[in-house]
Structure 1
């Protein structure tokens, strides 16, 4: 969506609408901080993640957006991701799937409690820690499998950083294999 840079739409509304042109104008011409919080403690990254705007989210991250920025409930943008691709994008850029909100829940645990966004839940089950209510009933082999997947993700990310390559394809393959129960 292209907007008139002279309008008075703020960066948070522009981020929620996916108005990349307006956000770029506000950041690059007006010097608005991509990590600024609105009066409800919502960041631009929360808005872009919540409304599933991957291109805008990438831009915000490139401009120094903190993928682990918290709101007043101590929730990061990962807590508001409604799409598995957005959750993946956040995690690939360093979002902490083990982070706990002010209620002591991870993003996965909150999604399970709210019975929302099953695809995001499935992705977070692979990359994050086991939910507390599930892990208490699991045997050690399940925890080991999750630890192994986490180790493999860390290896992929480290190699990509060393090589200067994009880890997305390798991470996507690992997540797909894990969701289908296949060995790496």
Structure 2
């Protein structure tokens, strides 16, 4: 009879053991065999620092997790980017797994490249997971990536249930970090009426200007033509001396009479109020820097943030560019890549297709779409996109030779 095969050193190209694979698929009996009969390490790490527990938590395999815990697994081992099993469970909305991990005393607020588990739960609108995390003393004001407080994240992801839970937990509705906007500014900019009302009722200050543009929520609402939001904000906003007619109609009329479009309206107000905001809130005077120079600065800062894997911050700067130049396809390509690095395939695909609509013959646009589809396991769609990318590249080479 042949001798028993030693599986302890057997790993795939990514450094995963057989136990990693069994745990990810929820194969409890296989896990038992591999641990008890073959002696595989329950805390074995892959090349990226992933443990069997990491995979089981990501896939919501509760029985396997219980077994691994019984065998002495460390449920809080982070991978090379700081991601813990709790991050994975929170991101995927596995509420029972989150409860199980927290019952083992794992840290509730570990930070990886995307933030704390709380932010990940908010990003997917997993209100029940968020509730459990808050009940276990997760910090409702934990700031991730220097920009996104949990409340701001809820506005960004348009999760009304989550923002209500955060406010009930005592979250600071005015918390923001340079260069990010306040939650109220984000809600106004995106036209989220319910969020605006909720934030104001919770004590949000409508008089805080953006650090980069120097405008307040009321100005943005008026510039966007949102009379309903202007009416909501007006009673709580301090009068701006440079606006001659301090009334709902007067503010809207002033904005739209002096500018061609809403985005120029924001620029007009910034120029008008630069003396008020530049000394304390801005690093340089906007009216002394051309629009082209400002866009170049934002792109440069976005590139720097991306290089530091600070993807939310990078997208913030790219968004500033689109407010001035909404037809820059390269920005949407960059957005797509940021979302892909954050493992959000839907958003990555959405931004890639915006890019493709603007520049249908640009090879990078097709490449971004292919990368997003590949991440989402749509291999047929990805192959088609990559094929079109190659065709676009070949076409450009031919045109250059003519």
**TM-score tier after normalising by the smaller chain length:** 0.5 to 0.7
- Determine which structure has greater relative contact order: mean sequence separation of CA pairs < 8 Å that are 6+ residues apart, divided by chain length: 1
CA drift at 1:96: 0.3
Aligned to 2:120: 80
The number of residue pairs the alignment matches comes to 141
CA drift at 1:140: 9.2
Q: From 102, 115, 140, give the equivalent of 2:145.
A: 102
Alignment gaps of 5+ in structure 1: 145-184
CA drift at 1:110: 2.1
With 104-113 and 17-26 compared, the bigger mean Cα shift is at 104-113
RMSD: 2.9
Q: Are the equivalent residues in 2 in contact too, given 1:3–1:21 (CA < 8 A)?
A: no
Q: Determine the C-alpha separation between the residues in 2 that align with 1:68 and 1:5.
A: 33
Q: Determine the C-alpha separation between the residues in 1 that align with 2:64 and 2:129.
A: 21
Aligned to 2:203: 143
CA drift at 1:36: 0.8
Matched, 1:13 2:80: no
1:1-60 CA distance string (max 9 Å, x none): 95325347811111011101111222221x221111123321111111111112111111
Aligned to 1:63: 104
Q: Are the equivalent residues in 2 in contact too, given 1:99–1:106 (CA < 8 A)?
A: yes
Q: Determine the C-alpha separation between the residues in 2 that align with 1:86 and 1:108.
A: 16
Bigger share in helix = 2
TM-score of the two chains, using structure 1 as the length reference: 0.65
Alignment of 1:2-41 (within 5 A): 3-7=27-31, 10-29=52-71, 31-41=72-82
Cα gap change, 1:52 to 1:140, in 2 (>3 Å): closer
Cα gap change, 1:129 to 1:5, in 2 (>3 Å): farther
Matched, 1:119 2:161: yes
Alignment gaps of 5+ in structure 2: 1-24, 35-50, 176-181, 186-195, 205-402
TM-score of the two chains, using structure 2 as the length reference: 0.32
Aligned to 2:173: 130
SS at match of 1:6: helix
